[in-house]
Amino acid sequence: MDILTTKNLCKTYGKGEIKVEAVKNVSFSVAKGQFVAIVGPSGSGKSTLLHLLGALDTPTSGKVFLDGKDIFIMKEKELSVFRRRNIGFIFQA
């Protein structure tokens, strides 16, 4: 069973001619119990992807399913409770 699935996930910053596609059409699944590493050079969108997966930011388009739930159809209060109960972040300095 997949615990995490993304479908055509995109995050774009800016408007008009000045746009930055931080995450572009990312689709993948992670099975329950599987270990995953997100690696890449500086500026490749790793942190943006993690913010989207953790529901700290909303995608420009695409979907994120955590434990089968489309997290971005939740209202903010419901999403806050979901994050508190299901997601953990360790920030590095």
List, for residues 46-93, the tens digit of each pLDDT value: 999 999 999 999 999 999 999 899 999 999 999 999 999 988 888 776
Domain count, the chain: 1
Residue 68 lies in a domain: yes
Write the CATH number for 42: 3.40.50.300
Residue 93 lies in a domain: no
Q: Which residues of 5-19 are buried (b: 16+ CB within 10 A; e: fewer)?
A: bbeebebeeeeeeee
SS3 content of the chain, % helix, strand, coil (to 5): 25, 40, 40
- The domain in which residue 80 lies consists of 2-86
Please state the pTM of the whole predicted model.
0.89
Q: Could you give the CA distance from residue 41 to residue 72 in angstroms, rounded to a whole number?
A: 28
Q: Which residues contact 60 (CB under 8 A, 6 or more apart)?
A: 10, 11, 12
Please give the single-letter amino acid code of residue 44. S
